Amino acid sequence: MGRTLIVEADGGSRGNPGPAGYGALVRDAATGTVLAERARYLGVVSNNVAEYSGLVAGLEAARSIDPEARVLVRMDSKLVVEQMSGRWKIKHEDMRRLAAEAAQVLPPSQVTYEWVPRADNSAADALANQVMDSRGEIAHDHWAADTTPVTDQGQADTDPAADEPADPSGAPGADAAGPGFDTPTRPSGARARFDGAEPLTVVLVRHGQTPLTVAGAYSGSSVPGPSLTARGRVQAAQAADLVYRIGRDRWTDVPRPTEIVASPMVRAQETARAVSRRLGLHVATDERFAEVHFGEWEGLTADQIAERWDGHPEQWLVSGTEAAPGGESMADVGDRVWAGLQDLLAQGTGRTVVVVGHAVQVRAAVGRAIEAPPSRWAGFRVPPGSVSIVRLWADGATELTVVGCPSEP
């Protein structure tokens, strides 16, 4: 009978027509293993055009894996399934064009179509929503270890050392511990360990932009909101794309993320959901990773605070130990954040946990990891949607990886 591949495809349009994108993936029918992923932002088109575009992309990915394979297409679009099966007519010109394009990818005798409930097409739907958020493109091929890696922007990585562990600067290669040491190789710039002890890797993600971010107002944990702006949703999706690559084609010495923990604030939860869609992981909530409680300063700008509390906001930043009126100091945040990180460490090393939170919360985590006093934490720049990595060993050793902000040039 030969090999059988399964194509799962979907598309969406926020407005119909409106900002749209598609998602598609190819699975091995025998094992269920995902062999390829495709997703792309399409601009303003209809929902049906987006669905057909996802079908074409999925079939093309299947053909690249095995042009002789039988292909079962599973979609939650009754329209596309019935039209491609020849039972319904196609009236819309753009859809006729895309249907003809899909029919030419593989011989019709090799392809069959099956309608599935939306819940059974969640992986393709998640990819489509991811690129609608990021307005980008995803192209991953997992089916051949010797193929050239493909980046989230759909461009082949032609670096001859691409399969070697990469450090945050992108420099290829790895440094051995040196002659006479029987230790594994490590990326350039990584902390040297000669005992083989594995750390806990924590990926710190700051939420995307909110209206208060734009206004320059102090937005803490005393109120649940605000939500992300449109720009903030894009930043969250871009951060999610970078987090997805950890342990795959970036920072390849780091285990792939297996857990997501988020602050309870709305903006952090929305950002965590973008990461969750990309990784296919559940989001747990931990109040210890909430933003600093600003008390009476909540929602005010620095100028407004300075007018009402002469000199106090500067002292809050400079000291790191002075609390906001009715709120917390940065040191207070550091105590609860560090307790949360230590609990994660106690649950086991050799794994990667994503923690989605806030500017002061990230500063506190980094500050405590490198044993910097709270008076220095305000000097850590943490833009919206930024990603940082800290690694924690059971013996108290730590490492900070400088990653950056994928949404900023």
Q: Which residues are catalytic?
A: 207, 291
Cβ–Cβ under 8 Å, residues 75 and 56? no
Q: Which residue has the tokens 């049906």?
A: 48
By C-alpha distance, which of 400, 345, 404, 372 is closest to 190? 400
Cβ–Cβ under 8 Å, residues 149 and 132? no
Cβ–Cβ under 8 Å, residues 67 and 163? no
By C-alpha distance, which of 164, 182, 162, 183 is closest to 174? 164
Distance between CA atoms of residues 29 and 101, nearest Å:
24
